[in-house]
């Protein structure tokens, strides 16, 4: 018998302890403490499963962007591999709680290989649990990382063919217009789905608004202009609650094939490095081969693959 309830104060931030996995236990405590401190979650969003003997057997934690009251996703999902019923109960409880709080969709990501802070071991098993509970894959992604402090010469120089102008100078409209042009011909499965649902212009507005929720300065966000005066690239670097990220970058259709994908990744890297970043991450769809190559040419390492799941509530 499985019972799912909010975690008690004395169970935070440790949640379910694994006697044979102290590394994972330490990572969970540190990560959840950070999420609570940054208001990415709240104590009553931290759910645990217990068995008939009142032993903790699993956990799930709802997550959102700091300042939001509605959860967007969940993290720290743990359930015994030999008890799919426990996993299903946790996922259903998380969905029900998120729905109560006003969410219309709930997301979760599974990274492979397993690593801090969530240590999502056996991703195939996790995927089966998610699919059985109504979650579907919305994106097959690749994750990249760069530690600028570990490079001897720092990021490469900016592309001399490009002239950059910032959001502070231009205002949001030119950025949304460029995003709409890019999304009309995107290789990203998730963004393409947004275009099908909302149209390119509205999908661009939503992408701009969602990215703007991340910490950034107006001077960081830039459009790069080709020598002919037309917009060639867009760069939206930012900081999420855990790490600086490239955010969104793209090359205008008319300027593809010129090597500008690498140039725009380099530009975002230089901006974040100048702001003090010691690690920068970026993601792209597995189908976006050109962007994956751009990250690699800019010095990034593909450290994990990421399946993004979502369930309508």
Whether residue 287 is found in the same domain as residue 180: yes
Q: Which domain holds residue 210?
A: 148-303
Q: How confident is the model at residue 262 (pLDDT cuts 50, 70, 90)?
A: very high
Residue 261 lies in a domain: yes
Residue 153 lies in a domain: yes
Res. 240: pLDDT tops 70: yes
Q: How confident is the model at residue 297 (pLDDT cuts 50, 70, 90)?
A: very high
Q: How confident is the model at residue 153 (pLDDT cuts 50, 70, 90)?
A: low
Whether residue 129 is found in the same domain as residue 152: no
Domain count for the chain, please give it. Answer: 2
What pLDDT score was predicted for residue 40?
Answer: 95
Res. 284: pLDDT tops 90: yes
Mean pLDDT of the chain: 94
Whether residue 153 is found in the same domain as residue 275: yes
- pLDDT tens for 63-74 read 999 889 999 999
What pLDDT score was predicted for residue 152?
Answer: 55
Indicate whether this model's pTM tops 0.85.
Answer: yes
Residue 311 lies in a domain: no
- pLDDT tens for 86-118 read 999 999 999 999 999 999 999 999 999 998 899
Q: Are 109 and 306 in contact (CB under 8 A)?
A: yes
Whether residue 172 is found in the same domain as residue 292: yes
Q: How confident is the model at residue 150 (pLDDT cuts 50, 70, 90)?
A: low
Q: How confident is the model at residue 241 (pLDDT cuts 50, 70, 90)?
A: confident
Strand runs labelled E in the chain: 3-6, 46-50, 56-63, 73-78, 105-112, 136-146, 163-166, 222-225, 231-239, 244-251, 280-285, 301-312
Whether residue 169 is found in the same domain as residue 55: no
Torsion over CA: 251, 241, 285, 189 (sign): negative
Q: How confident is the model at residue 11 (pLDDT cuts 50, 70, 90)?
A: very high
Instruction: Among 67, 100, 134, give the residue marking a domain's end.
Output: 134
Residue 140 lies in a domain: no
Contacts of 156 by beta carbon, 8 Å cutoff, 6+ apart: 266, 298, 299
What pLDDT score was predicted for residue 156?
Answer: 82
Res. 264: pLDDT tops 80: yes
Contacts of 175 by beta carbon, 8 Å cutoff, 6+ apart: 167, 208, 221, 223, 234, 236
Whether residue 49 is found in the same domain as residue 186: no
Instruction: Among 134, 169, 186, give the residue marking a domain's end.
Output: 134
What pLDDT score was predicted for residue 177?
Answer: 97
Residue 225 lies in a domain: yes
Q: How confident is the model at residue 280 (pLDDT cuts 50, 70, 90)?
A: very high
Mean pLDDT is lowest, of 79-93, 139-153, 295-309, for: 139-153
Give me the CATH number covering residue 34: 3.40.630.30
Residue 308 lies in a domain: no
Percent of all residues in the chain with a pLDDT value above 70, rounded to a whole number = 98
- pLDDT tens for 169-201 read 999 999 999 999 999 999 999 999 999 999 999
> Across the chain, which distance is largest between two alpha carbons, in Å?
72
Whether residue 10 is found in the same domain as residue 48: yes
Whether residue 38 is found in the same domain as residue 124: yes
Contacts of 304 by beta carbon, 8 Å cutoff, 6+ apart: 111, 112, 113, 115, 142, 143
Residue 34 lies in a domain: yes
Whether residue 241 is found in the same domain as residue 121: no
Instruction: Among 134, 166, 189, give the residue marking a domain's end.
Output: 134
Whether residue 84 is found in the same domain as residue 115: yes
Q: Are 108 and 73 in contact (CB under 8 A)?
A: yes
What pLDDT score was predicted for residue 242?
Answer: 87
Whether residue 292 is found in the same domain as residue 221: yes
Whether residue 154 is found in the same domain as residue 292: yes
Residue 227 lies in a domain: yes
Q: Backbone phi, then psi, for 194, in 5-degree steps?
A: -65, -40
Res. 256: pLDDT tops 60: yes
Q: How confident is the model at residue 155 (pLDDT cuts 50, 70, 90)?
A: confident
Res. 21: pLDDT tops 80: yes
């Amino acid at each position: 018998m499985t019972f799912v309830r909010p975690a008690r104060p004395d169970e935070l931030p440790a949640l379910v302890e694994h006697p044979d996995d102290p590394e994972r236990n330490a990572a969970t405590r540190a990560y959840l403490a950070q999420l609570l401190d940054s208001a990415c979650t709240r104590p009553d969003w931290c759910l645990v499963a217990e068995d008939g003997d009142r032993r903790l057997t699993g956990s799930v934690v709802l997550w959102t962007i700091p300042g939001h009251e509605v959860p967007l996703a969940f993290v720290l999902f743990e359930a015994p591999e030999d008890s799919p019923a426990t996993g299903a109960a946790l996922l259903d409880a998380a969905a029900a709680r998120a729905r109560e709080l006003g969410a219309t969709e709930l997301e979760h990501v599974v990274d492979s290989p397993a690593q801090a802070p969530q240590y999502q071991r056996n991703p195939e098993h996790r995927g089966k649990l998610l699919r059985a509970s109504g979650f579907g894959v919305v994106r097959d992604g690749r994750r990249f990382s760069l530690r600028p402090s570990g490079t001897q010469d720092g990021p490469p120089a900016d592309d001399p063919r490009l002239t950059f102008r910032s959001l502070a100078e231009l205002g949001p409209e030119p950025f949304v217009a460029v995003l709409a042009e890019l999304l009309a011909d995107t290789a990203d499965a998730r963004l393409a789905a947004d275009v099908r649902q909302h149209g390119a212009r509205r999908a661009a507005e939503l992408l701009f608004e969602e990215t703007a929720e991340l910490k950034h300065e107006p001077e960081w966000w830039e459009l790069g202009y080709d020598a002919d005066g037309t917009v060639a690239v867009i760069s939206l670097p930012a900081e999420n609650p855990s790490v600086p990220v490239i955010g969104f970058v793209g090359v205008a259709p008319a300027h593809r094939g010129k090597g500008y994908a690498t140039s725009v990744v380099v530009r975002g890297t230089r901006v974040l490095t100048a702001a003090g970043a010691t690690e920068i991450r970026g993601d792209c769809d597995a189908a976006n081969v050109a962007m994956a190559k751009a990250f690699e040419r800019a010095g990034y390492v593909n450290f994990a693959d990421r399946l993004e799941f979502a369930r309508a509530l």
